[in-house]
Amino acid sequence: MANDINNDIFHRVNLVLGEDFVKKAGELKVIVLGLGGVGSWCAESLFRTGFTNMTIVDCDTVNATNINRQMPALSTTIGKKKTEVVKERLLSINKDANVTVLDKAYTQADQADFHLADYDIIIDAIDSLTNKAALILEASSYDDKIFVSSMGAASKIDATQISIAEFWKVMGCPLAAAIRKRFKKFKTMPKHKFKCIYSPEIPYRRDEYLTEEDKSSAKQVNGSLIHITGIFGFMITNVVVNEVMKTIRGEDITDAVSV
């Protein structure tokens, strides 16, 4: 019965990407770090596409200010752990899946607790500059992983400018610039190339936009919109799907599409 349900759940995925993809996606181990406006939608879209062996990471609880853009945020979930809300939602989509929860923040001091070497796919959707830089350095040290990082989605309003680029080719993103500056300052660089989701759009209301250096307290934050953060999350899934298809077909499926 469980197999019949799974076949139905992923039937439309199978029609597009094939049975080999669905089988492969279910075997790969995924970790999504950060369940905010980007990471929560990324986790759900990966899950609905067949990546059902997933670890989700976040240390926060749902706040009313999250409701405008985050998947776990509802009036009925305020105060609950984001990881528990997301896990419940994912298992309500596919109860036979494997969802593991880590209720903690990724930090350089606690890197060993996350066992990133055990995963096939690593998703960076965290927003702390220091922790993000540490995650990038560790995740990019592996040459056998799919690693995708979300750059800054805050204070953007034009979804048509959202793009994919290799980290060092990301342009017009204050967060990416701040991370590169940090790497150069401490003379530590990512070991391998990795792809990022970003937008070169100049921050809306830029007179009020806070750079990473400006954020001296948790109360200082930038605004963000669901049609931006959601697309960032879906674009991460786009990269992951393409990378997995490369291992199956040996080609970039985005290059194989004819118009």
Tens of pLDDT, residues 124-158: 999 999 999 999 999 999 999 999 999 999 999 99
> Mean pLDDT, to the nearest integer, of 64-87?
98
Distance, CA of 147 to CA of 194 (rounded, Å): 6
Q: Write down the domain spans for the chain.
A: 2-256
* pLDDT band, residue 94 (cuts 50/70/90): very high
Q: Which CATH architecture has domain 2-256?
A: 3-Layer(aba) Sandwich (3.40)
Residue 82's CB: how many other CB atoms inside 10 A? 28
Minimum mean pLDDT among 6-20, 63-77, 185-199, 215-229: which range? Answer: 215-229
pLDDT for the residue numbered 221: 80
pLDDT band of residue 66 (cuts 50, 70, 90) is very high
Distance CA 63, CA 70 (A): 10
pLDDT tens, position by position, 75-86: 999 999 999 999
- Read off φ and ψ for residue 69, nearest 5 degrees: -150, -10
Name the pTM for this structure.
Answer: 0.92
Q: Closest Cα partner for 125 from 254, 247, 242, 237?
A: 237
Q: Which of 68, 89, 78 is nearest to 228 (CA)?
A: 68
Instruction: Give yes or no for residue 259 having a pLDDT over 50.
Output: no
With a cut of 80, say whether residue 28 has pLDDT above it.
Answer: yes
Taking all residues of the chain, what is their mean pLDDT, rounded to a whole number?
92
Mean pLDDT value of segment 108-124: 97
